[in-house]
Amino acid sequence: MCLGLASCGGGSTSNTNTETTTELITPASVSAITTLNLSALANYAAPVLPAYYDGTVLALDNTPNTNVITNKVATLGRVLFYDKRLSINDSISCSSCHQQSVGFDDPRRFSVGFSGSAFTDAHAMRLGNVRYYQPGSMFWDKRTASVELQASQPIQHPVEMGFVAGVGGINALITKLSATTYYPDLFTFAFGDAVITEARIQQALAQFERAMVSTNSKWDTAYAQVYTPNGNRGLGTSLVPNFTAVEDRGRQLFVTGPNAGGAGCAACHQPPTFALAANSQSNGLDAGETRVFKAPSLKNVALSQAFMHDGRFSTLEQVVEHYNSGVQLGRALDNRLSPNGQPLRLNMSADDKAALVAFMRTLTDTSLTTDAKFSDPFRN
């Protein structure tokens, strides 16, 4: 193992925004199985953010002080995210259900587990801008308090990745990873020693996922031209450069409340991250619903092929129609969807519904779906 030692010979110095790696040669164990160059790390820790990612937005960051992103740990997270060895039979990885090409979503309604014949009971969630949801709880039902705690649950799930208690649980995975040639070197690179623990696996995966920040959609390009600090955050009626008339009509409907003739979507799906507002409740999918659901950011929503926690809708048009005419009463229904104690009925025209869909398509960010630093690092 040769990690960061000038005496190893050769090497180069690579400066990132937050870390310097000097005279480091990528261990043979790592280069044999991945394309990583550990002396030239991708920048996960300090991405260049637009001006409109100001204090108001950054205050929503759910990154804990105990797991601030570093390029080294996020790089380890990238390897873990794409490694099928995290499943009991080496058949699936995190990326099997969160595919980069479709916004880290799954094109299937339900994801197939390690057996190849059993499926999850909820639709996989997009990961872009996951760091800007407060309070940071994860899964559709918010059952874990953080991205870190979420990260190892699929590994131990009886359908998803299979490291259940009966086969040794997470300790069996740790033994498996410790026996590989490359993980001891990668954990040493990331943490300073080769010890593999569940907490370190959680930290690395969470850092990689939080680094998936989306700022390069058509909407972002337009917003950057009109944003003014302490202004209306570009959400007024005078936007927007380079939008078609239909897209801009959809934008107005998205940001304007129902009492002013809009659909009010932005009250819960907050620009510029389009992550869910912290106080959002459920959206009235079923009558009598008592559960409070969360939703992922709407960035890259148009790349998805299944929508809602159970993937019941297959098009954005169906999603819009739900909010237009399908909201049902229940104890958990968000009060913004139940004015005067009755289910919201927007009564939008066909043209307005099409405009809302057109606007949501402007949230597609192909930079995130093609960025090499979020791609599979394994050699074929």
Find the CATH number of the domain harbouring 263: 1.10.760
Degrees, nearest 5: CA angle 147-149-153:
110
In a shared domain, residues 11 and 154: yes
Strand partners, 276: 269
The SS3 of residue 7 is helix
In a shared domain, residues 222 and 169: no
3-state helix, strand, coil in the chain (%, to 5): 40, 5, 55
Task: Find the domain containing 178 and state its range.
Answer: 6-213
Alpha helix ranges (H) inside 158-244:
169-178, 183-191, 198-210, 218-226
- What's the pLDDT score for residue 238? 61
In a shared domain, residues 260 and 311: yes
**End position of a domain, from candidates 213, 228, 243:** 213
Strand partners, 14: 21
- What's the pLDDT score for residue 228? 83
Which residue, chain included where needed, has tokens 């991250």? 273
Q: Kindly give the parts of the chain with pLDDT less than 50.
A: 1-18, 21
* H or E stretch at 359: helix 350-361
Counted domains in the chain: 2
Residue 254 in tokens: 């998205």
Residue 122 covered by a domain: yes
Which residue, chain included where needed, has tokens 């998936």? 212
In a shared domain, residues 61 and 203: yes
In a shared domain, residues 150 and 268: no
Strand partners, 119: 112
**End position of a domain, from candidates 172, 197, 213:** 213
Residue 11 covered by a domain: yes
Residue 48 covered by a domain: yes
In a shared domain, residues 242 and 291: yes
Residue 66 covered by a domain: yes
Residue 378 covered by a domain: no
- What's the pLDDT score for residue 123? 98
Among 23, 20, 24, 27, smallest CA distance to 1 is for 27
Question: In angstroms, rounded to a whole number, what is the distance separating the alpha carbons of residues 177 and 196?
Answer: 8
Alpha helix ranges (H) inside 179-321:
183-191, 198-210, 218-226, 245-255, 316-321
Question: In angstroms, rounded to a whole number, what is the distance separating the alpha carbons of residues 276 and 180?
Answer: 39
DSSP labels, 72-83: HHHHHHHHHHH-
In a shared domain, residues 192 and 318: no
In a shared domain, residues 48 and 159: yes
Residue 224 covered by a domain: yes
Question: What is the CATH classification number for the domain harbouring 71?
Answer: 1.10.760.10
Is the bond preceding 240 in cis, omega lying within 30 degrees of 0?
A: yes
In a shared domain, residues 200 and 282: no
Question: In angstroms, rounded to a whole number, what is the distance separating the alpha carbons of residues 10 and 319?
Answer: 56
Among 95, 88, 96, 155, smallest CA distance to 115 is for 88
Please give the model's pTM, rounded to 2 decimal places. 0.93
Residue 203 covered by a domain: yes
Degrees, nearest 5: CA angle 78-84-86:
80
In a shared domain, residues 317 and 349: yes
Long-range contacts made by residues 240-245, C-beta under 8 angstroms, separation at least 24? Answer: 242/218, 243/218, 243/362, 244/358
- What's the pLDDT score for residue 2? 42
In a shared domain, residues 203 and 247: no
Question: In angstroms, rounded to a whole number, what is the distance separating the alpha carbons of residues 241 and 226?
Answer: 8
Residue 58 covered by a domain: yes
Biggest distance spanned by C-alpha atoms of the chain: 73
**End position of a domain, from candidates 213, 245, 275:** 213
* H or E stretch at 259: none
Strand partners, 105: 99
In a shared domain, residues 346 and 203: no
Degrees, nearest 5: CA angle 17-18-23:
95
